[in-house]
Structure 1
Amino acid sequence: MPRPVLPPSFCSWRALAAVAAVSLLATALVLLGRLDVLAPGRVVPVLVYGVALGVICALAVCVCRALLSRLSVRAAWLGGWLIVVLTTLGISYGVGVVGSVHGVGPGPNGLGLFMLQSVLATGVVTVALFRYLFIRAQWRAEMLAQADARVQALQARIRPHFLFNSLNTIASLIHDDPASAERATEDLADLFHGSMRRADKSIPLSDELELARKYLAMEKRRLGERLAVKWSMDGLPDNAMVLPMVLQPLLENAVGHGIGPRADGGEIQVFGRVEGQNLVITISNPLAPPRDHAGAGMALRNIRSRLDLAHGPRASLLTNRDGNRFYAVLTVPHVKDPGR
């Protein structure tokens, strides 16, 4: 079920830049129909007025974001529109009065018409903008809900097989190594608890890496010397945030399709580094004999879909074969943990 779609707060510089661009375009379209009666020297001031009015209205919505967040969805969108209209009313009155005092405004007789035109234009543009933002946010919420459902479906598909192997491993350790059996049980509980996180809520990279290590530790108990793991993650910052369950499916593919089918096993290599404003994590495993890799394709498609929804073109998951190894290269923006 998609979550309620609330209006944006307009508190980021990207949102303000988008509002400025929309205001400039809307003002320019209005001016095109009035060039025959508008003095050439007033074109630039009107454009500046339109852009400044749009940005100030967006800032007004940003200031009132706490109030709007406490309202119902319908009331929040209507409240945002009313804030824009009232802000336009006040700004247009002030600009009209000050402009008239300096001889460049509408004058006392034209002040009311100037305010009405400003309010009508801003109100109509805001309705169109809010409609677009609502549809876009609703689509995004639906896509996130579908991505979350796909994560749960993928985990439901993987859990029985992984759970069966893990329980067999724990059972084999109970008599010979009770301490290891206890640690394995705790790791299994942590893994299943981590898989229940919401798919669209980022978590610290350290938490994701901890779950990944526990997963590989569980598989190491089962596969023994057939599984070797090489970690090289010192180059990654401690304050990075990532989507949950982006590494474990890649490691599951590496174990299931690269280690399991090989009688002699092999080594999984996990490397992390920073490239500019991005984090790059590469997971490599040996190639196994050709077999059905449908499960691997499902996991890769799911991760790519979630990355696209969360980060757009700034994130990617690329795969490649080089010699006797398979590589999955995950690239995500370096989003810092706000608590650090």
Structure 2
Amino acid sequence: MSDVQVTSANLPMAKALNAGLRKSMQDDPKVLLMGEDIGPLGGVFRVTEGLHAEFGENRVLDTPLAEAGIIGTAIGLAMRGYRPVCEIQFDGFVFPGFNQITTQLARMRNRHEGGVSMPVVIRIPYGGHIGSIEHHQESPETYFTHTPGLRVVSPSNPHDAYWMMQEAIASNDPVIFFEPKSRYWPKGEVDFTESGVPLHSSRVVRSGTDVTVVGHGAMISVLLQAADIAATEGISIEVIDLRSLSPVDYGPILTSVAKTGRLVVAQEASGFVSLGSEIAATVTERAFYSLEAPVLRVSGFDTPFPPAAVETHFLPSPDRVLEAVDRALSY
């Protein structure tokens, strides 16, 4: 058997998440996984595939179809020194566990004045672009970014997925980990030796000079497509991946806006009272004299996530992003 250590690999995000979970479980016997069908089946999206066979049923637990029970049990386990990682099978299924998350999990450390740690990770496959049915395509991140006591993150590529999962599990605060399900299978290079940036850092993924565009999760692919199209028309777009939705790392965003003078914020979620609204307001407050145009937002519409047949009309496309870029440049 070769002793050569693999330092990188070209993996889909689902496999990168699997590798991150495996590494955390190998490093810490107190890490365990809980969720519906995550055992021998490996989860609906196969993110936990093979982990039940490797670590056994005491560390990869198939649970009843009861999200409130999953979260409540995880809270008790965390209080006893474990680091549970809960899978919510689909985004729309998180709401039966919403009470446990917002009134118990998020408040426990504050309630005990920091005397109790809550190292719980809640994995949520989220977002559209997969042509699914009601309750299987949602973008509920704003509910959790609005809730004090929770950390909220979302990777956009396999490398970040691998490292951010391990960093989330190592956190002593609860982390809501949103996984863009439409990005589970496109491959990307994963460097197993270095994460690049810390968990709660945003990052410039494409440099530009004319307009800054900001997004997270599956939107980064859309924004990069828009930037490619804009480049053929002589427009230079700088793309920033938020990565962390709470807290938001505004440093790279403000630095970019100081350079470009314009900002477009894009998200799949509905726009009213959203993460995009908060970023627009904060940048307006903190970078007002750098702005040469209003901060513009591109989002899903203020309706429930639609049936699969019309989801392309609801979700922001490169064309909708470019329309906002054109408006920003017209001021």
Q: TM-score of the superposition, structure 1-length normalised?
A: 0.24
Q: Larger Cα Rg: Structure 1 or Structure 2?
A: 1
> Whose strand proportion is higher, 1 or 2?
2
Q: TM-score of the superposition, structure 2-length normalised?
A: 0.24
> Whose helix proportion is higher, 1 or 2?
1
